[in-house]
Structure 1
């Protein structure tokens, strides 16, 4: 973060490779639209320009793994 811009790197985790394709969408259109809407909301909230990078990653069965749930903040 600096005076005029906040840089954010967001990672979206899915459990299967097929889900990754759904989130990204054809030619990246779905993830692009998510990023655009999120950036608008963040800019309105912070009152600054936002640079948002989004990545979709596969972590197989992460919802069934205690360590993954803790890492993502679902458990203490």
Structure 2
């Protein structure tokens, strides 16, 4: 997500990751059993028809830098609690 590359999620639409992708406009979600829908989604993405709906805040939230900052905070917290 932080790479700002559209995501093709071939998953059951009821999965949380599917909801995250759809709610944030990060890509296309298709059911794994629907080959025609998968092909259509690939075509949409390759043709440039798919357009992000997400804003910059969403991408920043999932950037590698932001996630490493969060991890560092967790590790610092664990370290402090063990002393």
TM-score (norm 1): 0.29
| Greater strand proportion | 1
| Structure in which a larger fraction of residues adopt helix | 2
Larger RCO of the pair (alpha carbons < 8 Å, separation 6+)? 1
Q: TM-score, normalised by structure 2?
A: 0.28
